[in-house]
Structure 1
Amino acid sequence: MKLEELPTLDDIDVSNKKVLLRVDFNSPVKDEELLDDSRIRAHVPTIKELLEKGAAVVVISHQGRPGEDDFITLEPHAKKLSEVLGQTINFVDDVMGPEARRRIKELKPGEVLLLDNVRFLAEENINAPPEVQAKTYLVRRLAKLFDVYVNDAFATAHRSQPSVVGFPLVLPSAMGRVMEKEVKALSKVFNPQVSPKIFVLGGGKVPDTIVIIENLVKNKVADRILTTGLVAEVFLVAKGVDLGEKNMEVLEKKGLLGLIPKAKKLLLAGAPIETPLDFKTVDEEGNVRVEPAFSVTGLIRDVGPATVKTYGELMKDARVIVMRGPAGVMEDPRFREGTRELVRLALESGAFTIFGGGHLTAVIKELGMEDKVGHISTGGGALLSFLAGKELPALKALEMSKERFWSK
């Protein structure tokens, strides 16, 4: 099934029906207070649409992981959702117990109920196939109280957990607007009719990025792959470039030297991989300078101006640009320019742009160019899995649901 054929809110009748809505309210937390509400705001259009269509909406989400500081109740999320939605959100500090079930049964059309952190349940922290998750207590206890299931949590699409893949097998299911937007944008990545496609890949998740590059090359998806950051350093070493003792020590400490054979194999296979021409470096005295990639003496901290100019020229003819990960150590203002310029050039290229990662989102806001963005992905791990060619369990479950319920 093509991604764009998955059911959406346009395909379901929710009038006077109870809808279980899986969202991703997982937010940065400090001292049990939310530091950012962007993920909560992202789901408001889906919730509003369901309410306007006459549904009673029960929202389910997770927050943090067991044992971590951000593993808290969703009560603060309920307060924030009430504020941004403009109506009172009922909250119950229960997920599938008697009180939660009672409150769900009593919910009327136009009302919203937020259940507590679904990861408080041990079942939710286990990955298993949809057929197995459909038999969990969570799904068996709650599914019979609902008419429809809607998944709007793309950021969890790579998880095969009960609240993500279990309900679609027992309820008619569809994508919410956040999920739909992600799927439509990412469908362009593997659409052979839309080209040239350029990928600008950097950041610190080098092993994941190498897997992505392998998949892009295998499926002949990318016309050009422009590398930055540590990813670029690995490919330069694979080309035989001497990056100096300091930078090799960094690669060794991060366990990245083992990736060099894979990088060499990709280069020898003729993969369309570009590496930086120059870098911004810093020496032991703290002096910043621009150095050619083939004669680096300082510690690499950002791509240089020649690289930015060359990459910018390559992006001019692109129809799709996917950018993931910063080009340098953005936490230091001295090494932010490379990322900023590459983002600006991508947005000015006229291509449909897809950005992944909080660093790039922050840069887009700094530049004040939000109106030129094609799509900013909400899914970190899900985006990585998608680009790496892996099947997303959430989308597979929705496909299975369509076959079971929508084909009848």
Structure 2
Amino acid sequence: ERPLVAILGGAKVSDKLGLVEHLLDRVDALAIGGAMAFTFLRALGFDPGRSLVEPALIPAAQRTLAEGRRRGVQIALPVDAVVAARVDSGSGRGVGIREIPPDLMGLDIGPATVRSFGDLVRTARTVVWNGPMGVFERPPFAEGTHGVALAVAGVRGFSVVGGGDTIAAVRRAGVADRIGYLSTAGGAFLEFLEGRKLPGVEALSEA
């Protein structure tokens, strides 16, 4: 049911580029968080310090952003981040996306991005979420994923959450019972979102 909003996170664009391209055909808005967002931010000319960027995929990210504009799909990227020197740092600090120091890396989305993604989710009748917003296993970098979990749980329409990390985050936030459908098979869930048929889901849809 439309409007349909998808939220993607996780570390690598290379894992989800096919999914992003496929979703542009189907969604009204797409929010991209996690480390994969930094390749898109670099494609827009931002310097994300030591954050994870996949240089070989910058042209593909630029094409994806242009295609989103052409199709009228809103693509939301982080406006702030929680940064630190290392993943095992005991704390992080919030900075605007233009202000990431050259010696630090983004390890979570910041509070302004959580609010922005939450506002987007509230417009939706259907929300699909795959991939954490940061290194949520580490307490200093868990708030972004937690905030998005609460927003998705509050959707008035139907919500689908897929992938082991994302489901773990929803359970950690105590809102798993408020999600419409939890897909534990992360790889199969991604294939389904990419438009490949899943035998079980196909059987259900034909029943």
TM-score range, shorter chain: 0.7 to 0.9
The separation in 1 between residues aligned to 2:147 and 2:156, in whole angstroms, is 15
How much has 1:398 moved relative to structure 2?
A: 6.0
Structure 2 counterparts to residues 14-163 of structure 1, below 5 A: none
Equivalent in the alignment of 1:238: 43
Q: Using the alignment, how far apart are the partners of 1:352 and 1:292 within structure 2?
A: 32
One of 324, 329, 333 as aligned partner of 2:139? 333
Q: Aligned pair 1:201/2:8, yes or no? A: yes
Amino acid at match of 1:264: Q
Query: SS of the counterpart of 2:36?
Result: helix
Aligned with 2:128 (options 317, 322, 331)? 322
Distance 1:232 1:359 in 2: 17
Q: Judging changes above 3 Å, is the alpha-carbon distance between structure 1 residues 205 and 387 closer, same or farther for their aligned structure 2 residues?
A: farther
* Matched letter for residue 290 of structure 1: G
Cα RMSD (Å): 2.2
Aligned-partner residue type, residue 226 of structure 1 = A
Structure 1 or 2, whichever has the larger Rg, is 1
- Does 1:268 pair with 2:73? no
Deviations 1:334-361 (A, max 9, x none): 1111001101011112231100122222
Find out whether 1:279 has 2:81 as its counterpart: yes
| Aligned residue type for 2:95 | E
Equivalent AA in structure 2 for residue 214 of structure 1: E
Which runs of no fewer than 5 residues in structure 2 stay unpaired?
Answer: none
TM-score normalised over the length of structure 2: 0.87
Distance 1:283 1:350, change over 3 A: same
Once residues 398 and 312 of structure 1 are traced to their aligned partners in structure 2, the CA distance between those partners, rounded to angstroms, is: 34
TM superposition shift of 1:396: 10
1:299 alignment counterpart: 105
Higher relative contact order (CA 8 A, sep 6+): 2
Contact 1:226 1:275 in 2 (8 A): yes
Is 1:378 the counterpart of 2:184? The answer is yes
Calculate percent identity across the aligned residue pairs.
Answer: 34
- Aligned 8 A contact 2:121 2:127 in 1: yes
Aligned to 1:229, what secondary structure does the other structure show? coil
Q: CA deviation at 1:275?
A: 0.5
CA contact (8 A) 2:10 2:133 kept: yes
> How far off its partner does 1:395 sit?
5.7
Number of corresponding residues: 197
User: 1:231 and 1:273 mapped to 2: Cα distance?
Assistant: 13
Structure 2 CA distance for partners of 1:292 and 1:316, relative to 1, 3 Å: same
What amino acid is the match of 2:194?
A: A
1:216 to partner: Cα distance: 1.4
3-state SS of paired residue (1:321) = strand
In 2, Cα distance between equivalents of 1:227 and 1:348: 19
Contact 1:235 1:260 in 2 (8 A): yes
